[in-house]
Chains A and B, each alone.
Chain A
Amino acid sequence: MSAMSPQEIVEQALAASTADGQVVYVTDSSEANLRWASNSLTTNGAMRSRQVVVVSFVDGGSGTAVGTVARTGTPDVAELVRASEQAARDAGPAEDAMPLLTEAPPGAGDWDAPAATTSIDVFRDFAPALGEAFGEARSRDQLLFGFAEHQMATTWLGTSTGLRLRHDQPTGRVELNGKSTDFGRSVWAGVGTRDFTDVSVADLAADVAQKMAWSARRVELPAGRYETLLPPSTVSDLMIVAYWAMEARDADEGRSVYARAGGGNRIGERLATLPLTLRSDPHAPGLETSPFQVVGGSSGSASVFDNGMATPAVDWISDGVLTNLVRPRAWAQQQGAPATAALDNLVLEDPTATASTAEMVARTERGLLLTTLWYIREVDPQTLLVTGLTRDGVFLVENGEVTGAVNNFRFNESPVDLLGRATEASRSERTLPREWNDWFTRAAMPMLRVPDFNMSSVSPAS
């Protein structure tokens, strides 16, 4: 990468500080990716980068001010420290000021080890297997589209209060989209992975082939409310929307779906009829994520003063009841409530669920089985009403069996409302969010049955 190691950059920045406090972090990242369309490669890449971020804290008469400067590449560390200190001196006192943390959270990695890396070699077996799948698709007169990506990011965080924390984060995803040659039928399979050793192109291709077979019979249905089976990927995309809205301050200020009429927030209120738990856990198997916070800029849901704060497992919803919201330390202190940090994974689970997704389909008399959701956007923050589309497979289930593929729909629904209306959940499984996987890949979700899902209008798209 460059002559200086990330650990040396952290120490050099801290040594150069003339401010009252400093947080510095270095992230070394590497990535490889392949993209394909119509049974052939379209783009690819192998990238490496380094980001250095310095946050300086300057005490003044009326409080502590903050300045953040980030640079990629091989920046002059002394210049970076000077720039962040100047930015802090130019800023007024920060509203979220708290003493920097001194206690190391559990679970950080080996500070001295070199960066974890990936390269295009991660696809040595995957690329030829995909080439074979292209051949098989071609022989069935079908087309494959999709994307595979593997990233490694190692972050070293140091603070003037003595913290030295390191985390290695692998992230991987594969999406496989099958279509008929006229694009009239379209289906999808996807997985998240840490290292691609658990990715089977054959399994993904078989999933796509089965859904293509289900699509042989086409059924036109009008807009309306339908009993709908939401598979894990669709539930993850909806629950991520609910999760991203979980800022305590917005709720406490009365401007969120989690605000209570009459003032205050809805913690303690039942949201789900089923005994569902929505939680984040840095040690969730296969979904491991950073056990401490790294924050470059403050917002209502994170504070630069909280850098290095432990991010232990947290229940957002427990047994159907809203239990926690995301709360930086300063807001927590003001409200007399616990500080809670957002994590980079999300698990929804019904501990009483026993059925697999296939068993839930089998016990459906008549309903729609979705595959993924797309273009989800907030319509009304008051209710968290979102709109979006069904994508790549709406299947009609009759007497426990898939009997055909239905046109797509635009839906209008609130994920919080859906929790209240879901009547059955399957066992949870790891899944890849379709809509949000550019930002969020670590999720485990059940299938949910909703008796009256609002399909607002028909979409002619396929």
Chain B
Amino acid sequence: MAGKRSVDESFLALPLSALADAALTRAVDLGCEHADLRVERIRTQTVRLRDARLEALADGEDLGLAVRVVHEGTWGFAAGVVLTAAEAVRLAEEAIAVAQVSAAMNTDRVELAPEPVHADGEWVSAYEVDPFAVPDAEKTALLTELSEQLLAADGVEHVSTSVMQVKEQKFYADTAGTRTRQQRVRVHPEFTASTVDRATGTFESMRTLAPPVGRGWEFLTGEGWDWRGELAQLPELLREKVKAPSVEAGRYDVVVDPSNLWLTIHESIGHATELDRALGYEAAYAGTSFATVDKLGSLQYGSPLMNVTGDRTAEHGLSTVGWDDEGVAGQQWDLISDGVLVGYQVDRNMARLRGMDRSNGCSFADSAAHVPVQRMANVSLQPAPDGPSTEELIGGVERGIYVVGDNSWSIDMQRYNFQFTAQRFYKIEGGQLAGQLRDVAYQATTTDFWGSMTAVGGPQTYVLGGAFNCGKAQPGQVAPVSHGCPSALFENTTILNTKQEGGR
């Protein structure tokens, strides 16, 4: 069972300690205030089927090491792929050379907030079946069977299937004495059914709602999701979508299902409460944040029903770790309490800049080849302890729309104006679902939207959603992250008709 697992022997057999000793000793000898070494091995496998036939099975492994230093107050970073002590020493020297070239453009002296030393840490994520221990033929056979059933259904013309699997192993050591070993597993399965009407040249699709999760292959065989149940419903949902009327643009009360709301949380809260964005580190790329530090403790982010936490501890969470990439232990903390901004996600240099006692552990690099930056914790909206069910939320709406499953997403560089679509939108009339609608998008400004949240569902509606591919930093890095949330009601939300938006 989870927790009793240990990091794979084949990773621990790498010369981890020797690399750390070589790199860190060299860095100290050359006068660095701080140095750390990471060794990472990331196994990936993507299985893709098109119309129930295997299109690609791509198996990858990325193994490398990196040295990061603080030298005379300036960062330096160097990465390579040869796991020898000589290369570790060369990387320490190169990282210092990078710091020296960069010093000409540095005016902020880097210092790290303190963290207790974790001298011998080991942590493994909660999963049961290592996907890389399951034979490829067995995986492909299961996906083929499920895809064939879906493809055989009335009204389904095409089926796209994919499963991404990742096993991430990480060794971290720094000059303060922390040494940690970790192993995380995650999977992301998706099935999409499509239909085409050749006469009119139109087509439509419907994708499964199952989230990516920090679990193993057991997620495909019944643990944590009912695949056969969801796939059995997909054809009828698609047929209904094809026949659905186009939405009338205007303002509606909107009940948002967790399968859609997680992404709105990710974009409008998760990124907006990253301190590096608020400080401008991402200003030229991912963007800044309207939630600036002068507003901490006073910004009314949303209605008083809104309570949002950050954590790196949730079981099966994609951002969950034992320690972050600066050796800081995983924690949970408040970002928004009773609708007011009360916290940020930080790393050690930013924690020191803000005068915090300690980092809350949000440093992450997506591979040995990339420098750690502040990345997102699991950012989750808390359910109301005795809150209503989704049906009860819908029951309270006279004229509205129920939003299910994520689809397209876009938000501006300060995290104000966003627009989302979904897998399906239902009309609500007199507290009842009254069939699907087509061509729908919802558009809002972050604080208006969260301010209009007048009911929050109970724990029985709570689902942990998420993504593998959150993008940030230059060079670009991807990070996996989860977002838990209940269903919730948002009053008087702007609904667009996307056909009209396209001028048709």
Chain A contacts to B: CB under 8 angstroms? 1-2, 31-50, 66-75, 83-84, 86-87, 90-92, 94-96, 120-121, 123-124, 127-128, 130-131, 134, 143, 145-147, 149, 175-177, 179, 183, 186, 188, 253-255, 259-263, 296-300, 304, 374-383, 385, 387-389, 391, 408, 410, 412-414, 417, 438, 452, 454, 456-462
**Measured between alpha carbons, how far is A180 from B391 in the docked complex, in Å?**
49
> What B residues does A438 contact at CB under 8 A?
471, 474-476
A72–B62 touching, CB < 8 Å: yes
> What B residues does A379 contact at CB under 8 A?
408, 419, 421, 441, 498, 501
A389–B474 touching, CB < 8 Å: no
- With contacts A43-B371, A73-B64 taken as known, whether A149 is within 8 angstroms of B475 at the C-beta atoms is yes
> What A residues does B104 contact at CB under 8 A?
127-128, 130-131
**Measured between alpha carbons, how far is A382 from B438 in the docked complex, in Å?**
13
A385–B58 touching, CB < 8 Å: no
Say whether B504 faces chain A, with CB atoms less than 8 Å apart.
Answer: yes
Of chain B, the residue at the smallest CB distance from A48 is B80
Give the interface centre of B64, B79, B95, B410 by most chain A CB atoms within 10 Å. Answer: B410
A45–B443 touching, CB < 8 Å: no
Give the interface centre of B78, B83, B282 by most chain A CB atoms within 10 Å. Answer: B78
A253–B158 touching, CB < 8 Å: yes
- Binary interface profile of B, 80-107, with partner A (CB < 8 Å = 1, else 0)? 1111000000000011011101111111
A380–B413 touching, CB < 8 Å: no
A87–B57 touching, CB < 8 Å: yes
B53–A92 touching, CB < 8 Å: yes
- With contacts A145-B284, A410-B412 taken as known, whether A297 is within 8 angstroms of B56 at the C-beta atoms is yes
B58–A389 touching, CB < 8 Å: no
Q: How far is the CB of B61 from chain A (nearest CB, A)?
A: 5
A462–B414 touching, CB < 8 Å: yes
Sorted nearest first, the 7 A-B pairs with minimum C-beta distance are: A261-B201, A461-B414, A177-B284, A297-B56, A412-B501, A145-B284, A73-B81
> What B residues does A259 contact at CB under 8 A?
196, 201, 203
Residue among A72, A263, A300, A374 making CB contact with B412, cutoff 8 Å: A374
- Binary interface profile of B, 230-260, with partner A (CB < 8 Å = 1, else 0)? 0000000000000000000000000000000
**Measured between alpha carbons, how far is A427 from B15 in the docked complex, in Å?**
57
> What A residues does B411 contact at CB under 8 A?
375
Say whether B416 faces chain A, with CB atoms less than 8 Å apart.
Answer: yes
**Measured between alpha carbons, how far is A143 from B107 in the docked complex, in Å?**
13
Say whether B133 faces chain A, with CB atoms less than 8 Å apart.
Answer: no
**Measured between alpha carbons, how far is A43 from B371 in the docked complex, in Å?**
8
A127–B283 touching, CB < 8 Å: no
A-B contact pairs, 14 of them (CB 8 A): A31-B475, A47-B79, A69-B60, A72-B62, A74-B83, A84-B59, A127-B102, A131-B105, A179-B280, A300-B50, A375-B411, A377-B409, A387-B408, A457-B443
**Chain B: interface residue count, which band?**
35 or more
Chain B interface main SS type: mixed
Q: How far is the CB of B287 from chain A (nearest CB, A)?
A: 7
Say whether B373 faces chain A, with CB atoms less than 8 Å apart.
Answer: yes
Say whether B445 faces chain A, with CB atoms less than 8 Å apart.
Answer: yes
**Measured between alpha carbons, how far is A96 from B76 in the docked complex, in Å?**
46
Residue among B59, B199, B370, B409 making CB contact with A87, cutoff 8 Å: B59
Q: Which residues in chain B, 18-34, are within 8 Å of chain A measured between CB atoms?
A: none
**Measured between alpha carbons, how far is A90 from B59 in the docked complex, in Å?**
13
> What B residues does A2 contact at CB under 8 A?
82
Q: How far is the CB of A34 from chain B (nearest CB, A)?
A: 6
- With contacts A49-B81, A263-B198, A412-B501 taken as known, whether A377 is within 8 angstroms of B410 at the C-beta atoms is yes
Say whether B55 faces chain A, with CB atoms less than 8 Å apart.
Answer: yes
Q: How far is the CB of B156 from chain A (nearest CB, A)?
A: 13
Residue among A32, A47, A460 making CB contact with B445, cutoff 8 Å: A460
B199–A41 touching, CB < 8 Å: no
Q: How far is the CB of B426 from chain A (nearest CB, A)?
A: 19
Of chain B, the residue at the smallest CB distance from A41 is B106
Residue among B74, B140, B412 making CB contact with A459, cutoff 8 Å: B412
**Measured between alpha carbons, how far is A262 from B417 in the docked complex, in Å?**
39
**Measured between alpha carbons, how far is A75 from B140 in the docked complex, in Å?**
26
